[in-house]
Amino acid sequence: MQRVLKAFFPAVILAFVLASVLFTQFNLAALQAMGQEVSTGVRIATTFDDLIGMASSYLVLILVAFIVGLPVAAGLNRLAPGHRALLFTLAGFAAVIALHLIMKAALGITAIAVTRTLPGLLAQGLAGAVGGYCYHRLSRPA
Protein backbone atom coordinates (compact mmCIF):
# COMPACT_ATOMS: atom_id res chain seq x y z
CA MET A 1 0.00 0.00 0.00
CA GLN A 2 2.86 2.35 0.78
CA ARG A 3 4.33 1.77 -2.69
CA VAL A 4 0.96 2.65 -4.24
CA LEU A 5 0.63 5.88 -2.27
CA LYS A 6 4.23 6.90 -3.00
CA ALA A 7 3.41 6.58 -6.70
CA PHE A 8 -0.11 8.02 -6.61
CA PHE A 9 0.58 11.52 -5.33
CA PRO A 10 3.54 12.29 -7.63
CA ALA A 11 1.46 11.02 -10.58
CA VAL A 12 -1.45 13.29 -9.68
CA ILE A 13 0.84 16.28 -9.17
CA LEU A 14 2.64 15.65 -12.47
CA ALA A 15 -0.68 15.35 -14.33
CA PHE A 16 -1.93 18.57 -12.71
CA VAL A 17 1.24 20.54 -13.46
CA LEU A 18 1.31 19.42 -17.08
CA ALA A 19 -2.44 20.04 -17.51
CA SER A 20 -2.12 23.49 -15.98
CA VAL A 21 0.86 24.44 -18.13
CA LEU A 22 -0.94 23.18 -21.24
CA PHE A 23 -4.16 25.05 -20.62
CA THR A 24 -2.28 28.23 -19.80
CA GLN A 25 -0.27 28.02 -23.01
CA PHE A 26 -3.39 27.20 -25.07
CA ASN A 27 -5.13 30.26 -23.60
CA LEU A 28 -2.15 32.50 -24.29
CA ALA A 29 -1.93 31.15 -27.85
CA ALA A 30 -5.59 32.10 -28.32
CA LEU A 31 -4.78 35.63 -27.14
CA GLN A 32 -1.92 35.79 -29.62
CA ALA A 33 -4.24 34.61 -32.39
CA MET A 34 -6.41 37.64 -31.60
CA GLY A 35 -3.41 39.91 -32.11
CA GLN A 36 -2.33 40.38 -28.51
CA GLU A 37 1.36 40.36 -27.78
CA VAL A 38 2.38 37.77 -25.20
CA SER A 39 5.98 37.96 -24.04
CA THR A 40 8.01 35.15 -22.56
CA GLY A 41 7.85 36.88 -19.18
CA VAL A 42 4.07 37.00 -19.34
CA ARG A 43 3.98 33.31 -20.31
CA ILE A 44 6.13 32.35 -17.33
CA ALA A 45 4.27 34.56 -14.84
CA THR A 46 0.86 33.45 -16.07
CA THR A 47 1.87 29.79 -15.93
CA PHE A 48 3.06 30.17 -12.35
CA ASP A 49 -0.09 32.09 -11.34
CA ASP A 50 -2.32 29.43 -12.89
CA LEU A 51 -0.42 26.64 -11.13
CA ILE A 52 -0.98 28.33 -7.78
CA GLY A 53 -4.51 29.48 -8.51
CA MET A 54 -5.81 26.17 -9.84
CA ALA A 55 -4.20 23.97 -7.19
CA SER A 56 -7.19 24.24 -4.86
CA SER A 57 -9.69 23.17 -7.51
CA TYR A 58 -8.25 21.49 -10.59
CA LEU A 59 -5.65 19.52 -8.62
CA VAL A 60 -8.46 18.12 -6.46
CA LEU A 61 -10.52 17.21 -9.55
CA ILE A 62 -7.57 15.37 -11.10
CA LEU A 63 -6.99 13.61 -7.78
CA VAL A 64 -10.59 12.38 -7.77
CA ALA A 65 -10.37 11.32 -11.43
CA PHE A 66 -7.24 9.29 -10.67
CA ILE A 67 -8.86 7.74 -7.57
CA VAL A 68 -11.49 6.33 -9.93
CA GLY A 69 -9.35 5.62 -13.00
CA LEU A 70 -6.20 3.99 -11.66
CA PRO A 71 -7.91 1.20 -9.71
CA VAL A 72 -9.81 0.32 -12.89
CA ALA A 73 -6.46 -0.06 -14.66
CA ALA A 74 -5.16 -2.20 -11.79
CA GLY A 75 -8.18 -4.47 -12.08
CA LEU A 76 -7.80 -4.76 -15.84
CA ASN A 77 -4.12 -5.53 -15.37
CA ARG A 78 -5.10 -8.54 -13.23
CA LEU A 79 -7.37 -9.75 -16.05
CA ALA A 80 -4.88 -9.02 -18.85
CA PRO A 81 -1.36 -9.02 -17.42
CA GLY A 82 1.51 -7.83 -19.53
CA HIS A 83 -0.05 -4.52 -20.55
CA ARG A 84 0.50 -2.59 -17.33
CA ALA A 85 2.13 0.50 -18.88
CA LEU A 86 -0.54 0.81 -21.53
CA LEU A 87 -3.40 0.28 -19.07
CA PHE A 88 -2.23 2.92 -16.58
CA THR A 89 -1.39 5.39 -19.36
CA LEU A 90 -4.85 4.93 -20.89
CA ALA A 91 -6.46 5.12 -17.46
CA GLY A 92 -4.86 8.51 -16.80
CA PHE A 93 -5.94 9.74 -20.24
CA ALA A 94 -9.50 8.45 -19.83
CA ALA A 95 -9.82 9.75 -16.27
CA VAL A 96 -9.02 13.33 -17.24
CA ILE A 97 -11.13 13.23 -20.41
CA ALA A 98 -14.04 11.73 -18.45
CA LEU A 99 -13.65 14.40 -15.77
CA HIS A 100 -14.29 17.15 -18.31
CA LEU A 101 -17.06 15.33 -20.18
CA ILE A 102 -18.89 14.44 -16.96
CA MET A 103 -18.68 18.00 -15.64
CA LYS A 104 -20.09 19.27 -18.94
CA ALA A 105 -22.90 16.69 -19.03
CA ALA A 106 -23.85 16.78 -15.34
CA LEU A 107 -23.24 20.41 -14.46
CA GLY A 108 -23.45 22.10 -17.84
CA ILE A 109 -20.09 23.80 -17.31
CA THR A 110 -16.73 23.73 -18.97
CA ALA A 111 -14.40 24.38 -16.03
CA ILE A 112 -11.27 24.52 -18.20
CA ALA A 113 -12.05 26.68 -21.23
CA VAL A 114 -9.56 24.98 -23.56
CA THR A 115 -11.53 21.73 -23.27
CA ARG A 116 -14.24 23.27 -25.45
CA THR A 117 -12.03 22.37 -28.40
CA LEU A 118 -10.88 18.89 -29.35
CA PRO A 119 -7.15 19.84 -29.30
CA GLY A 120 -7.58 21.39 -25.85
CA LEU A 121 -9.45 18.37 -24.52
CA LEU A 122 -6.87 15.99 -25.96
CA ALA A 123 -4.05 18.05 -24.45
CA GLN A 124 -5.66 17.67 -21.03
CA GLY A 125 -6.00 13.94 -21.70
CA LEU A 126 -2.31 13.85 -22.59
CA ALA A 127 -1.51 15.32 -19.19
CA GLY A 128 -3.56 12.54 -17.61
CA ALA A 129 -1.77 9.95 -19.73
CA VAL A 130 1.62 11.22 -18.54
CA GLY A 131 0.38 11.04 -14.95
CA GLY A 132 -0.89 7.50 -15.51
CA TYR A 133 2.43 6.44 -17.01
CA CYS A 134 4.26 8.06 -14.08
CA TYR A 135 2.08 6.02 -11.72
CA HIS A 136 2.96 2.86 -13.65
CA ARG A 137 6.69 3.58 -13.40
CA LEU A 138 6.69 4.53 -9.72
CA SER A 139 4.37 1.77 -8.50
CA ARG A 140 5.96 -1.21 -10.24
CA PRO A 141 6.77 -4.10 -7.95
CA ALA A 142 10.48 -4.43 -7.25
Half-sphere exposure of 140 (CA within 13 A, CB side): 12
Provide the pLDDT for residue 109.
85
94-130 as b/e: b if 16+ CB within 10 A: bbbbebbeebeeeeeeeebebbeeeebbebbbbbbbb
What's residue 2's pLDDT? 84
Residue ranges of alpha helices (H) inside 34-117 are: 40-54, 58-79, 84-107
Rounded CA-CA distance 81/75 in Å is: 10
In this structure, the number of other CB atoms found within 10 A of the CB of residue 24 comes to 20
Q: Say yes or no to pLDDT of 4 above 80.
A: yes
- Nearest-angstrom CA–CA distance, 12 and 138: 12
pLDDT tens, 31-86? Answer: 999 999 999 999 999 999 999 999 999 999 999 999 999 999 999 999 988 999 99
Q: What is the pTM of this model?
A: 0.93
Count: domains in the chain: 1
Cβ atoms of residues 123 and 22 within 8 Å: yes
**110: pLDDT strictly greater than 90:** no
What average pLDDT does the structure give for the chain? 95
Percent of residues, the chain, with pLDDT higher than 70: 100
How deeply is 5 buried, as exposed, middle or buried, from its count of CB atoms within 10 A (0-12, 13-18, 19+)? Answer: exposed
Range of the domain at 115: 2-139
Burial of residue 10, with CB atoms counted within 10 A of its CB: 0-12 exposed, 13-18 middle, 19 or more buried: middle
Q: What is the C-alpha to C-alpha distance for residues 85 and 81, in angstroms, rounded to an integer?
A: 10
